[in-house]
């Protein structure tokens, strides 16, 4: 592929990932204000995150079918339109039931963006090069993590929470124009129905499934932390929404560091070595967090600093897990990336809903969750057959 074409495809994929993750993170600093405006509890309002993830997860296999049948460009534009309309309607909500329902619809739009972005990349890159390119999507994710929380905090401080969703809707409209104008149409798309048995074949294929679970459980750490963290930092540690928004920059730098390490060294050190290193970093950080908070749970630094190290490890682990899953996929086409996204979002939604349902409000409980999930990642890694 010509370098300019490769750079363009990577850029479009990164923008799609950026917006889908922005929808997940940007409203978090305003969570207490949204609860107050909708006359409900923070625990109920926090369900908006796992519901968004459920909206991302459930239609992913359909997005894979439609992408193969209609082409990436059409599906990406349709996803953006769905995301934009639901974002605008979210800004007008006055009831928690409507808010939660629209978050599900917004997640459906983000789902299509995520699947199409990864499918576009997987079609053109393989092996360690695929892991390297996927790290650019991780960088887009981390930029949205920092900018999203910070921008949400700024907009919340200057205006009010509905402006956050108006901004998301406008951003999606701008991206629709960019996709229509610059992303080429697919030269050929298949109009035959998707073979659903392909997904069953993938699930049964152990070398594909285990890397997918590793990436999904690591992703679940980020979702679980961000489900409970706004309440813990703003209530237990008495941080303002702006203070919590600034924490996004520390998280972004940590994820960016891990993504850059993959981008720079994966073709030199190899995927297996880097995956092992990432999990060791995550295990050491989560164990340190648990021990530190057991001794002194009054310092917010002892919660967020080890978490940043966990994020760094996950930033290394995630693109490698996707690349290994794609490499060992027994089925061609967009099915592998669609199923990866589906499993990741289901895991994240279950973890987020569990955190919300358990009402985790104490730092030590959140640290215990992080350690448990890292141990599960390690367990799946041990189950992988040696190359």
pLDDT of residue 138: 73
Count of C-beta atoms within a 10 Å radius of residue 109? 26
Distance CA 249, CA 258 (A): 14
- Nearest alpha-carbon partner for 206 in 119, 115, 330: 330
- What tokens appear for 351 in the block? 């973890």
Q: How far apart are the first and last CA of the chain?
A: 29
Distance CA 367, CA 66 (A): 40
Q: Count the helices and strands in the chain (H runs, E runs).
A: 16, 0
Distance CA 181, CA 177 (A): 6
Residue 79's pLDDT band, with cuts at 50, 70 and 90, is very high
pLDDT of residue 193: 47
3-state secondary structure 91-126: CCCCCHHHHHHHHHHHHHHHHHHHHHHHHHHHCCCC
Please tell me the pTM assigned to this model. Answer: 0.74
pLDDT of residue 190: 46
pLDDT tens digits, one per residue of 121-151: 877 777 667 777 777 787 787 777 667 777 7
**Residues 229-248, mean pLDDT to the nearest whole number:** 81
Q: Is the pLDDT of residue 153 over 80?
A: no
Instruction: Compute the CA torsion angle 105, 221, 350, 245 (nearest 10 deg).
Output: -40
Q: Is the pLDDT of residue 217 over 90?
A: yes
**Residues 94-116, mean pLDDT to the nearest whole number:** 89
**Residues 243-263, mean pLDDT to the nearest whole number:** 82
Q: Is the pLDDT of residue 288 over 90?
A: yes
DSSP per position, 292-321: HHHH--S-THHHHHHHHHHHHHHHHHHHHH
Distance of CA 74 to the CA centre of its chain: 23
- Nearest alpha-carbon partner for 218 in 381, 373, 60: 373
pLDDT tens digits, one per residue of 310-319: 999 998 998 8
Residue 278's pLDDT band, with cuts at 50, 70 and 90, is very high
Residue 216's contacts (CB-CB under 8 Å, 6 or more residues apart) are 343, 344, 346, 347, 348
**Residues 70-91, mean pLDDT to the nearest whole number:** 89
**Residues 54-60, mean pLDDT to the nearest whole number:** 83
3-182+196-383 CATH choice from 3.30.830.10, 3.30.300.30, 1.20.1250.20, 3.40.50.720? 1.20.1250.20
User: Half-sphere exposure of residue 339, counting CA atoms within 13 Å on the CB side?
Assistant: 26
Distance CA 100, CA 121 (A): 32
User: Half-sphere exposure of residue 82, counting CA atoms within 13 Å on the CB side?
Assistant: 22
**Residues 288-302, mean pLDDT to the nearest whole number:** 91
CB–CB of 310/170 below 8 Å? Answer: no
Residue 106's pLDDT band, with cuts at 50, 70 and 90, is very high
Residue 221's pLDDT band, with cuts at 50, 70 and 90, is very high
Which residue would you say has higher pLDDT here, 358 or 281? 281
Q: Is the pLDDT of residue 188 over 50?
A: no
Distance CA 76, CA 57 (A): 16
User: Half-sphere exposure of residue 89, counting CA atoms within 13 Å on the CB side?
Assistant: 18
The chain-wide mean pLDDT, for the chain, equals 83
Distance CA 104, CA 93 (A): 14
């Amino acid at each position: 592929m010509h370098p300019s074409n490769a750079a363009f495809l990577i850029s479009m994929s990164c923008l799609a990932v950026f917006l889908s993750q922005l929808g997940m993170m940007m409203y978090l600093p305003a969570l207490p204000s949204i609860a107050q405006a909708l006359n409900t509890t923070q625990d109920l309002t926090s369900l908006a995150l796992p519901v968004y993830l459920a909206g991302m997860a459930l239609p992913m296999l359909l997005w894979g079918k439609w992408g193969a049948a209609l082409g990436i460009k059409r599906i990406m534009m349709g996803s953006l339109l769905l995301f934009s309309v639901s974002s605008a309607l979210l800004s007008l909500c006055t009831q928690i039931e409507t808010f939660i329902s629209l978050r599900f619809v917004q997640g459906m739009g983000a789902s299509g963006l995520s699947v199409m972005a990864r499918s576009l990349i997987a079609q053109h890159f393989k092996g360690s090069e695929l892991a390297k390119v996927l790290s650019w999507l991780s960088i887009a994710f981390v930029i949205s993590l920092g900018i999203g929380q910070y921008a949400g905090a700024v907009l919340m401080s200057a205006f009010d929470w509905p402006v956050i969703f108006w901004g998301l809707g406008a951003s999606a409209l701008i991206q629709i124009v960019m996709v229509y104008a610059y992303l080429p149409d697919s030269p050929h798309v298949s109009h035959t129905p998707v073979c659903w048995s392909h997904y069953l074949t993938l699930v049964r294929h152990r070398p594909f499934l285990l890397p997918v679970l590793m990436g999904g459980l690591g992703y679940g750490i980020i979702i679980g932390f961000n489900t409970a963290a706004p309440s813990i930092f703003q209530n237990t540690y008495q941080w303002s929404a702006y203070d919590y928004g600034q924490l996004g920059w520390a998280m972004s730098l940590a994820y960016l560091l891990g993504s850059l390490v993959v981008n720079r060294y994966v073709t030199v050190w190899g995927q297996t070595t880097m995956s092992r290193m990432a999990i060791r970093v995550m295990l050491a950080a989560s164990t340190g967090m648990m021990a530190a908070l057991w001794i002194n749970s009054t310092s917010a630094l002892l919660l967020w600093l080890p978490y940043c190290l966990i994020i760094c490890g996950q930033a290394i682990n995630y693109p490698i897990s996707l690349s290994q899953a794609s490499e060992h996929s027994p089925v061609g086409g967009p099915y592998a990336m669609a199923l990866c996204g589906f499993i990741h979002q289901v895991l994240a939604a279950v973890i987020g809903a569990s955190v919300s349902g358990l009402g985790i409000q104490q730092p030590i409980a959140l640290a215990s969750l992080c350690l448990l999930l890292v141990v599960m990642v390690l367990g799946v890694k041990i189950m992988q057959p040696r190359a």
